[in-house]
A and B are shown apart, each in its own frame.
Chain A
Amino acid sequence: MSLDAELAASLAALLPGAVEKAEEVRGETVLQVDAASLHAVCRHLRDRGFNYLTDVTAVDTLDLLFPSPARFTLVYHLERIPGGERIRLKAGVSGDEPVADSVSDLWPAAVWGEREVYDLFGIRFHGHPDLRRIMMPDDWEGHPLRKDYPLQGFPGQREV
């Protein structure tokens, strides 16, 4: 279901320049958002009824055939209950230790999702209440879903 015109207009009026691109992919709205305005966009959408954060994840575009300007793309899936409209937000972050604003104050569900993204991609979240690893052991080195992480781990990491 596409983003309704009223919502798009209110986003554009409130946060000019925040939405870099809006497109419709297989009937669902995808907004490319400036990472700096990500939290503001999320708050606006939450206040407009997107009360359910389905997923927080990320993509490392290092090895992709058509890499994006930012190495990592954060992906947020939002849903409106009742109604069932969905929106996907994408925001690019770069650097060896990329940082984004946490949205865990808007949706508590983000706490675990952002911990997973931190654990596996090494993206840190400002304002997260408890940014620890969630999948890998606490003393693990590296972030396994980064494309430059060796499949068999760093040398010596396989010993148990």
Chain B
Amino acid sequence: MADKSELLQGTLDLLVLRVLNGGPLHGFAIAQKIHVLSRQALEVEEGSLYPALYRMERKGWIEAEWGVSENNRKAKFYALTKAGRRQLATEQDAWARLAAAIGAVLREAD
């Protein structure tokens, strides 16, 4: 629990979209998956997750449907839309460019 990283501003959308690329998930599972995939480094706050989900739903990147979770509870599942997939590609590109740029600066600044 000690070395948790703060989520960089604006990256939550990218992570959620990327995670949903694998298939529909409910809110808890999204947070869980990001947590696991980041090797416990990233903790998604519920207070940010849900507003982000609703915002992305409004923008039409994801759509929600009620279903039944793995432990037989009613849950709302989010899935990527076509627009969401396009958005994911754009954001992934942007992230890659940013990461490369920052990496380059860090490596060669001396």
Q: Does A associate with B in a complex?
A: no
B interface residues with partner A (beta carbon < 8 Å): none
A interface residues with partner B (beta carbon < 8 Å): none
